[in-house]
Amino acid sequence: MSVITISRQFGAGGLTLGRKIAAMLGYTLVDEEVIKLISEKANVSTDWVHAVEKEAGGKLQQVINRLIPRGLMDRILDDQRGYIDEEIYIDLLEKIINQIADKDNCIIIGRGGQYILKNRPDTYHILLTADKEDRIKFMQVHYKLERNQAVQVVQAEDKRRLNLYRKFGKSDYDQPGHYHLSLNLSKLDIDGSTEVIKAMVTAMKG
C-alpha cells in the first residue's frame, strides 16, 4: 500500500510515465480528476479552477474584485452559489489530495503533491526533468504538434507550474532534496525510468 507523486517539468513525460507505472503496479492514476473534484467542492466550473491555477500573485483575484462589488461578493459567498479564489483553491487542493492518498495505491501527477504529502508515510516522491529542447521534441512526437505549437505549450505550462508553486510560497520545487528519486529524461528513456521507479517502490515496500 503506497502513494507515488510525480512532479515534472512539462514535456518530460510525466503523464506517459505515470500511466506505465500505474499499469505495471496496478495503481490508480490521478491527474485532471483533481480539477474536477475541486470544481465540484467549490460549485464552480472546471474552467474557473484552471484559471485560478494558472494565475499568480492574486492577479485573477484583483480582476474579480474590480468587476464584482464587495457586497455582491459577500452575498454570493453567503448563498453558496459557487466561488473560488487562490486561498480556497489551495485549501481544497490539500484536502482532496490527502483524501486521494488515503485510498492508497495511487499515482498523483503534479499539483504540489510532494509538499502536501511530504510527511506522509509510504509515499514516494519523484521528480522528472529534461532539457527544454527534448521536452519540445517529446510534445511533437507524442502529441503530434508542430514545433511552434510544442514550443508554445511547453512555455505556457512552465509558466503555469511556476505560478502554481508561487501559491504554495515555494520556489525550490526542482531541488532533488524534496524527492526520493530524481530522473533526467534527457539521459534515461521512459521504459528505463519506469523500471527504476518500480524497483525503488518494490524495494522500499519490502
Please count the helices (runs of H) and the strands (runs of E) in the chain.
Answer: 10, 5
161 has pLDDT over 70? yes
Sign of the torsion angle spanned by Cα atoms 50, 126, 97, 59: negative
Phi, psi of 31 (to 5 degrees): -135, -95
Question: What are the structural domains, with CATH classification, of the chain?
Answer: 3-33+94-205 (3.40.50.300)
Q: What is the pLDDT of residue 142?
A: 92
Average pLDDT of the residues in 144-158: 94
Residue environment code for 123-145, b if the CB has 16+ CB neighbours within 10 A, otherwise e: bbbbbbbbeeebbbebbbeeeeb
Residues above pLDDT 90, as percent of the chain: 59
More confident residue, 66 or 16: 16
Which helix (H) or strand (E) segment holds residue 124: the answer is: strand 123-129
More confident residue, 144 or 56: 144
Q: In whole angstroms, what is the distance from residue 206 CA to residue 195 CA?
A: 16
Q: What is the pLDDT of residue 68?
A: 46
DSSP symbol at 27: P
Q: In whole angstroms, what is the distance from residue 182 CA to residue 37 CA?
A: 29
More confident residue, 4 or 77: 4
Burial of 205 (0-12, 13-18, 19+ CB in 10 A): exposed
Of the candidates 14, 57, 11, 23, which has an alpha carbon nearest to the alpha carbon of residue 179?
14
Least confident window among 16-20, 56-60, 193-197, 201-205: 56-60
66 has pLDDT over 80? no
Average pLDDT of the residues in 21-39: 93
* Strands laid side by side in the 28-30 sheet: 28-30, 106-109, 3-8, 123-129, 181-184
> Which of the four pLDDT bands, split at 50, 70 and 90, describes residue 147?
very high
63 has pLDDT over 60? no
